[in-house]
Amino acid sequence: MSSTSSIGISTIKPFCRILISYKGSPIFGVSPHKHKFKPIYQRCYSRSRIIVPKSSFSSNGGALCVSGLDWSQSRNYSSISRVHNSIKGSKRGILVIPRVASDFRNESTSVEAHVNDKSFELIYVQGGLNIKPLVIENVDTGLNIVKEQENRVEDLNTSVIIDDFTGLYERKNERELTEIEKEAWKLLRSAVVNYYGAPVGTVAANDPADKQSLNYDQVFIRDFVPSALAFLLNGEAEIVKNFLIHTLQLQSWEKTVDCYSPGQGLMPASFKVRTVPLDGNSEALEEVLDPDFGEAAIGRVAPVDSGLWWIILLRAYGKITGDYSLQERVDVQTGIRLILSLCLSDGFDMFPTLLVTDGSCMIDRRMGIHGHPLEIQALFYSALRCSREMLVVNDGTKKLVAAINNRLSSLSFHIREYYWVDILKINEIYRYTTEEYSTNAVNKFNIYPDQIPSWLVDWIPETGGYFIGNLQPAHMDFRFFTLGNLWAIVSSLGTPKQNEGILSLIEAKWDDLMSHMPIKICYPALESEEWRIITGSDPKNTPWSYHNGGSWPTLLWQFTLACIKMGKPDLAQRAINLAEKRISADNWPEYYDTKGGRFIGKQARLFQTWTIAGFLTSKLLLEKPEMASLLFWEEDYELLETCVCALSKPERKKCTRSSSRPQAS
Ligand code: GLC
């Protein structure tokens, strides 16, 4: 051990505790300036605590703040953490021979080639860590149950890392920043949350005038993504790595909502760093990470998107920094598999889409998006594509990889085929025959043509189209949801032609979707009776406000990414220019209200971090298109060859991929 002189571990159920002490410190005998300590986790269904004396905390009771301490320069971590940290260099303590589920990192789509590779036997850490591979059952049924054979166990090697990224990539600001960008960076940095002195995330909002912060003082998983990308694109990887590792720890948290325990792979919606007195010890305080899995959230909504975002960010971290050692770590691999086990488990579902409750994503209130909302499907598809690239393939995972491939194929088929609408498709629905009982039904979901809303008849442009918001039996939600459509482009969930169609619809409907402030979260708003019934008369989601047709500048970065992918950076620039006119002057609001996005949102927080970070990330993506290209996917032709919905009975036809195949434009 280099800096810590003794570690005492006491496990007191239900919390596991780790005590770090420092010989000779005024507190423990040494100056914290010279001896940097890091939290070390106890990997179990419990809290990990580090006991430090009260005097180490800032007077306001906030995060540990040691002036002059530059964590980013630290090399002084324990030999335990070095085992994981130094994977790239000679300091590496455990040999991990990685084989990822596909060679996408090297632009290949081959999966099976790896599965049969003898060297897979070498993939697992040779007795180095106490984590057992997962066992996958029921793969032959097409949907998998992934079971963890044993609990993820104590792994002292998962301490937070302050890595030396020097030489990995140097991408600090290369040009003179505009005044607005300078302000944005300052605000973004002031939103950073530290945990034991190391940056681990950014608060959702930092509005000084905010009297009731609710949970906006927490680090939201989804909100942190644009912050993470801004930092990564600016050459600052440490905060992202710490975030990924800490949130991974939270995945194993003991979580109960009214005596019910959600799946182990669930990632929290948000977490907060709390400074609390150590039980029965008035002299010592401790910092704890306090996650919210939905049990405290308004409406008790399930954060289904958190795990998906975590996987997406993990891949982005590897792609942008070139540091793949993080995703190759055994605990990280287990984390990916646990998330997937939740998503791929068998249920009553008839569709390959994920079945979720209302408010399970960015729209985290009742908005009539329960069922199979597009946003979740697009993030699910993206997370599956990420996982396929990152999963180490061995005997324990090859079936999971096969299941991922099957799901990718069936999911893209389903979305391309049944969610897509353009003028021709709407006309087809308009003429649908209903009540068809047969496997050959054209109107498979028994959609009644009267469901076509009157606004859509006029709104749908001659060219282009979009993926509808949701599909259920006898129900098509025709609202345009921006995030899902953008991620369909980014992940190639849509065909190239559909992806082009989405952007051309956005262009054609610029005044509706962008207007004074990009971008509408959905279009159109629910009004009158619909608003009353569907939102439950939600006073926050009144028509053209907040989730109900409000304009969210944070969506700008995802629009920019989609535009870059489709070769239309000018379109992104146009939207950025629009935002730039107002967001700084308006103090970076969370959202805007009214049909044209002219007013700062009724209850919008100011200095909303993902508004700030979304703006910076958009700028950085445009500036570094080569980096942007690491964050999106092209069509995967191998997936198209697999038709997983081939039906076995002779009278039943195999489904055809022809309509979901890319067509010449
Ligand atoms: C609101 C948004 C949600 C976001 C949170 C924190 O609840 O609906 O998407 O994560 O605020 O900004």
Q: What is the DSSP string of 349-391?
A: -SSSSPPB-TT-SSS-S-SS--BS-HHHHHHHHHHHHHHHHHP
Q: Which has more confidence, 69 or 596?
A: 596
| pLDDT on residue 172 | 54
Residue in 164, 319, 289 with CA at minimum distance from that of residue 228: 319
* Element at 336 (helix H, strand E): helix 330-344
Q: Is the pLDDT of residue 272 over 60?
A: yes
Amino acid at 461: P
Strand partners, 286: 51, 276
User: Ligand 1 centre and the CA of 363: distance in Å?
Assistant: 7
Residue 339 · residue 310 · CB < 8 Å: yes
User: Ligand 1 centre and the CA of 403: distance in Å?
Assistant: 32
User: Ligand 1 centre and the CA of 299: distance in Å?
Assistant: 13
How many CB atoms sit inside 10 A of residue 570's CB?
Answer: 9
Split at pLDDT 50, 70, 90, the class of 657 is: low
* pLDDT, averaged across the chain: 77
Residues ≥6 apart with Cβ < 8 Å to 526: 367, 368, 534, 535, 541, 543, 548, 549
Query: What's 551's DSSP letter?
Result: B
pLDDT tens-digit series, residues 185-210: 999 999 999 999 999 999 999 988 88
CB-count exposure of residue 76 (10 Å: 0-12, 13-18, 19+):
middle
Dist. CA 365–CA 359, nearest whole Å: 5
Phi-psi region of 549 (alpha: psi -120 to 50; beta: other; left: phi over 0): left
Specify the residue with its C-alpha closest to ligand 1, atom 9. Answer: 362
Q: Indicate the range of 80-94, 268-282, 378-392 predicted with least confidence.
A: 80-94
Mutate to test the pocket of ligand 1, among 207, 216, 300, 364 (most ligand atoms within 8 A of CB): 364
Q: What six digits make up the tokens of 59? A: 């007077």
pLDDT tens-digit series, residues 106-138: 443 332 333 333 322 222 222 222 222 223 333
Q: Is the pLDDT of residue 371 over 50?
A: yes
Query: What's 416's DSSP letter?
Result: I
Q: Is the pLDDT of residue 232 over 90?
A: yes
Dist. CA 550–CA 590, nearest whole Å: 10
Q: Which has more confidence, 579 or 4?
A: 579
Q: Is the pLDDT of residue 240 over 80?
A: yes
| pLDDT on residue 658 | 52
Continuous H helices in 191-272:
221-233, 238-251
Residue 488 · residue 467 · CB < 8 Å: yes
Q: Indicate the range of 3-7, 462-466, 530-534 predicted with least confidence.
A: 3-7
Dist. CA 400–CA 406, nearest whole Å: 10
Mutate to test the pocket of ligand 1, among 219, 222, 305 (most ligand atoms within 8 A of CB): 222
Q: What six digits make up the tokens of 212? A: 């009731």
Q: What percent of the chain has pLDDT over 90?
A: 61
Phi-psi region of 392 (alpha: psi -120 to 50; beta: other; left: phi over 0): beta
Atom of ligand 1 nearest to the CA of 361: 9
Residue 169 · residue 320 · CB < 8 Å: yes
Residue 144 · residue 407 · CB < 8 Å: no
Cβ of 389 closer than 6 Å to ligand 1, yes or no, is no
Dist. CA 517–CA 551, nearest whole Å: 6
Q: Is the pLDDT of residue 64 over 50?
A: no
pLDDT tens-digit series, residues 212-222: 778 899 999 99
| pLDDT on residue 278 | 85
What's the rounded mean pLDDT across residues 417-441?
A: 95
Q: Is the pLDDT of residue 13 over 90?
A: no
| pLDDT on residue 654 | 52
What's the rounded mean pLDDT across residues 410-428?
A: 97
| pLDDT on residue 173 | 55
32 preceded by cis ω (within 30°)? no
Q: Is the pLDDT of residue 51 over 80?
A: no
| pLDDT on residue 598 | 97
What's the rounded mean pLDDT across residues 334-338?
A: 96
Upper half-sphere CA count for residue 282 (Cβ side, 13 Å): 0
Q: Indicate the range of 34-38, 447-451, 454-458, 639-643 predicted with least confidence.
A: 34-38
Q: Which has more confidence, 294 or 654?
A: 294
Query: What's 70's DSSP letter?
Result: -
| pLDDT on residue 295 | 77
| pLDDT on residue 210 | 81
What's the rounded mean pLDDT across residues 413-431?
A: 97
Atom of ligand 1 nearest to the CA of 215: 6
Strand partners, 551: 520, 592
| pLDDT on residue 264 | 85
What's the rounded mean pLDDT across residues 396-423?
A: 96
| pLDDT on residue 56 | 40
3-state SS string over 270-303? EEEEEEEEECCEEEEEEEEEEEECCCCCHHHCCC
| pLDDT on residue 103 | 53
Residue by residue, DSSP assigns 579-643 as HHTTTTTTT--S-EESTT--EE-TTPPSSBHHHHHHHHHHHHHHH-HHHHGGG-----HHHHH--
Q: Is the pLDDT of residue 73 over 50?
A: no
Atom of ligand 1 nearest to the CA of 220: 10
Cβ of 223 closer than 6 Å to ligand 1, yes or no, is yes
CB-count exposure of residue 286 (10 Å: 0-12, 13-18, 19+):
buried
Cβ of 305 closer than 6 Å to ligand 1, yes or no, is no
pLDDT tens-digit series, residues 492-510: 999 999 999 999 999 999 9
CB pairs under 8 A, 24+ apart, for 52-59?
52/20, 52/27, 52/196, 52/284, 52/285, 52/286, 52/287, 53/27, 53/28, 53/283, 53/284, 53/285, 54/277, 54/282, 54/283, 54/284, 54/285, 55/27, 56/27, 56/32, 56/285, 57/275, 57/285, 57/287
Residue in 485, 477, 468 with CA at minimum distance from that of residue 378: 485
The b/e string for 468-492 (b: 16+ C-beta within 10 A; e otherwise) is: bbbbeeeebbbbbbbbbbbbbbbbb
Q: What percent of the chain has pLDDT over 70?
A: 70
